Amino acid sequence: MILNCELESAFNELTTQIEDVFAGKQGHQSAKKYLTGLLSQTKRKNNWQIAETLGETTPTPSNNSYTEDDTAQTNSKTTSKHT
């Protein structure tokens, strides 16, 4: 397990609460993985170290928290709020 057991329950609750921010499931999962890496015991919190901690071969999957669809929807929400 990457996260401390005490943090895991609170972390799961938090990531469930922010799930609606992401248009797609993939964006939410990527953000959750990236946050997991940031909260891990990894000494250096750069994208490569986080990816390695998460068992990925490159930092790209966990680093791209927003997919193009997520970004488009977020921009759409922002634009509609300001008009």
Per-residue pLDDT reduced to its tens digit, 35-49:
888 888 888 889 899
pLDDT of amino acid 66:
44
Please check whether residue 53 is in contact with residue 33, taking contact to mean a CB–CB distance below 8 angstroms: no
Half-sphere exposure of 80 (CA within 13 A, CB side): 6
Q: Please check whether residue 1 lies inside any domain of the structure.
A: no
Asked if the model's pLDDT at residue 78 lies above 70, the reply is no
**What is the spatial distance between Cα 37 and Cα 2, in angstroms, rounded to a whole number?**
8
Q: Please check whether residue 35 lies inside any domain of the structure.
A: yes
Report the number of distinct structural domains present in the chain. Answer: 1
Q: Please check whether residue 70 lies inside any domain of the structure.
A: yes
**What is the spatial distance between Cα 20 and Cα 68, in angstroms, rounded to a whole number?**
16
Q: Please check whether residue 15 lies inside any domain of the structure.
A: yes
Domain that holds residue 75: 8-82
Q: Please check whether residue 49 lies inside any domain of the structure.
A: yes
Asked if the model's pLDDT at residue 6 lies above 50, the reply is yes
Q: Please check whether residue 2 lies inside any domain of the structure.
A: no
**What is the spatial distance between Cα 8 and Cα 4, in angstroms, rounded to a whole number?**
6
Q: Please check whether residue 62 lies inside any domain of the structure.
A: yes
Please check whether residue 23 is in contact with residue 74, taking contact to mean a CB–CB distance below 8 angstroms: yes
